[in-house]
Amino acid sequence: MRGMFKLALGAAAFVAAAIGALILWPIGNENRPITLAGDATRGAYLARAGGCIACHTDFAAGGAPLAGGVKLATPFGTLYSPNLTTDPEHGIGSWTVDQFARAVRQGISPEGAPYYPAFTYPFYANFSDQDIADLWAAFQTVPAVAEPSTPHKMLFPFNQRWGLKLWRAAFLEKPQSEPVPGNDAEWNRGRQIVGGAAHCAACHTGRNILGARKSDTQHFKGSTSLPGGGKAPAIDFETLQKRGWTVENLAFALKTGIRPDGDAFGGAMGEVVLYGTRFLTAEDRRAMAVYLMDDHSGG
Ligand code: HEC
Ligand code: HEC
């Protein structure tokens, strides 16, 4: 009996020590300090392409731009996108550009805590210093909204952020980096937007039970685990081709939300177009379509 008790106590002490170690375990890399001047117009373009505005503005409730409050229901609880306005208390008005860079590219808060990957930061890891400076300049133009962010309602143990350090160690993907040789500039631009800012794989690649994308086997093969339990169809090259998509009608759909059969995109995809891709240049939309309709768009 006493032996058992000691064992249980030992196990509890071990778990507590392990959690303690996790809490202290440092994450992320040193940022190069960002000293570049930002271009707010270019930053606003990137904020559209990246869905920052879409996901941090509660359009349905008539919310102010970037004031947050969009609900993201996950199997682990509910997240609410936070207030990103210039309010120094409730928004990010008191942040530095370097704290912003670390949050957006690495998913780490100014206090050193990891963010939930429902915030699509893994796709933004490749933003250049210039991209970050531009985004930051654009965010400085957003009027302050003095409303606190809605607290997340995550279930135990997912409400413990240290657990996300394990998630990061197991699943955080290396961002795709350099252009792929043998493809032209348009293809590589398409790949950069699709795989980066526009985060198409966030909804079109299946996820495992811990919410990590199965990029090696399920890339663009569709997903049944969208926030709120929604589904997204496959958009791999073979499927798109089989379903009658071409570079032209895909670029058109990203502009208008109208599919080749004349129907409009519904749900989450309607919003991707409404708040995102329709604001992009015709060249960028075409580049995305060229990349997606290519037989090695997985690259
Ligand atoms: C799919 C929805 C979604 C998209 C798209 C998105 N975010 Fe977020 N973002 C979130 C959520 C949810 C959180 C809260 C994460 C957490 O608390 O762990 C967050 C947190 C943040 C934070 C930290 C705020 C704080 O108070 O700590 C910053 C900064 C941020 N996002 C910037 C951006 C930028 C810049 C973009 C576009 C490039 C972007 N987000 C796109 C959902 C999103
Ligand atoms: C927030 C989730 C989400 C994101 C991000 C997203 N999609 Fe979708 N997508 C969907 C959903 C849901 C549908 C199904 C829409 C419908 O049935 O009307 C869809 C449908 C599509 C279709 C139609 C496929 C078919 O044959 O029916 C295409 C093409 C597509 N998406 C391309 C993209 C591209 C390109 C991106 C990146 C710019 C993207 N999606 C980003 C959720 C998303």
Residue 40's nearest CA partner among 115, 106, 126, 138 is: 138
pLDDT at 5 > cutoff 80? no
Angstrom distance (rounded) from CA 153 to CA 165:
19
Q: Residue 173 above 90 pLDDT?
A: no
Q: Is the CB of 227 under 6 A from ligand 1?
A: no
Q: Going by CA atoms, what residue is nearest to atom 40 of ligand 2?
A: 200
> What's the chain's length in residues?
299
Question: Which residue's CA is the nearest one to ligand 2's atom 21?
Answer: 269
CA distance 115 to 162: 10
The pLDDT tens digits for 55-111 are: 999 999 999 999 999 999 998 999 999 999 999 999 999 999 999 999 999 999 999
229 close to ligand 2 (CB < 6 Angstrom) = no
- Ligand 2 pocket check for 200: Cβ under 6 Å: yes
pLDDT at res. 231? 95
What single-letter amino acid sits at 41? T
Q: Which two tokens stand for residue 293?
A: 């309709």
Yes or no: say if 47 and 53 are a contact pair by the CB < 8 Å rule.
Answer: yes
Q: 204 CA to middle of ligand 2, Å?
A: 7
pLDDT at residue 299 tops 70: no
CA angle 116, 120, 123 (to 5 degrees): 130
The answer to whether the CB of 119 is under 6 A from ligand 1 is yes
- How far apart, in whole angstroms, are the C-alpha atoms of residue 204 and residue 49? 17
- The predicted structure's pLDDT at residue 29: 84
243-290 confidence digits (pLDDT tens):
999 999 999 999 999 999 999 999 899 999 999 999 999 999 999 999
The tokens describing 253, both together, are 């759909």
Nearest-atom number in ligand 1 for the CA of 164 is 18
Instruction: Kindly report the protein residue whose alpha carbon is nearest to atom 17 of ligand 2.
Output: 266
Can you tell me which atom of ligand 1 is nearest the CA of 113?
A: 18
Closest residue by CA, ligand 2 atom 25: 233
Closest atom of ligand 2 to 289 CA is 35
Whether 267 lines ligand 2, by a CB cut-off of 6 Å, is yes
Burial of 107-142, coded b for 16+ CB within 10 Å and e otherwise, reads bbeeeeebbbbbbbbbbbbbbebebbbbbbbbbeeb
CB contact at 8 A, 92 and 79: no
Burial of 19 (C-beta count, 10 Å sphere; 0-12/13-18/19+): middle
> In this model, does residue 19 exceed pLDDT 90?
no
Q: Is 205 in the pocket of ligand 2 (CB under 6 A)?
A: no
265 CA → ligand 2 middle, Å: 8
- Residues 166, 123, 57, 35: is their CA dihedral positive or negative? positive
- Give, using CA atoms, the residue closest to atom 17 of ligand 1: 115
In this structure, what token pair is assigned to residue 43?
Answer: 């930053």
Q: Is 135 in the pocket of ligand 1 (CB under 6 A)?
A: yes
Judge contact between 238 and 220, C-beta under 8 A: no
Please give the Cα distance from 94 to 214 (Å, whole number): 37
Q: Who's near 195: CB < 8 A, 6+ residues apart?
A: 123, 176, 201
Average pLDDT in the 213-219 region?
Answer: 92
Is the CB of residue 233 below 6 angstroms from any atom belonging to ligand 2?
Answer: yes
User: What does the alpha-carbon distance between residue 90 and residue 92 come to, in Å, rounded to a whole number?
Assistant: 7
Torsion over CA of 154, 157, 158 and 161, rounded to 10 degrees? 110
Q: Is the CB of 230 under 6 A from ligand 2?
A: yes
The amino acid at 267: G
Question: Is pLDDT at 163 greater than 70 in this prediction?
Answer: yes
